[in-house]
Amino acid sequence: MAIRLALRTTSEYSLLHFELGKEPLDTGELKKLELPAEVLSRRHLGLILSGRGPVWLYVYLASLAHPFAWLATYDPRLNGAVVVARHVPGAPEIGSLIAVETPDLGQT
């Protein structure tokens, strides 16, 4: 699979950043894609998805993230992540902006 992952964690969330290879991602790869165990062990917190990829990849990753307390997607134009789903009381409100920097995959 031509996806590289980098993970950064804080006391409030995990940030999962991905980069795709030079070749287009094959839709059949979705069947093989799982969230890393290190990420799943923190599902009581929020999850921020970051990376450039097709909409269908984001939708699939969001479906895998359903057990997390909340979900946000990073938008570099906003220098932060926008909360798009919340599943527990006390989670950030939908539309909230979480200030974050994406991890550098060159350092993982």
More confident residue, 82 or 3: 82
Q: What is the pLDDT of residues 71-91, one digit of tens each?
A: 999 998 998 999 999 999 999
Q: What is the mean pLDDT of residues 29-39?
A: 90
Instruction: Give dist(CA 101, CA 91) in Å, integer.
Output: 20
Chain centroid to CA 84: 11
The alpha helices in the chain, defined as continuous H runs, are 37-40, 55-64
Bridge partners of residue 57, in order along the sequence = none
Q: What angle do CA 41, 63, 36 make, to 5 degrees?
A: 30
- As given in the structure block, the two tokens for residue 32 are 């093989």
Residue recorded with tokens 């992952």 = 5
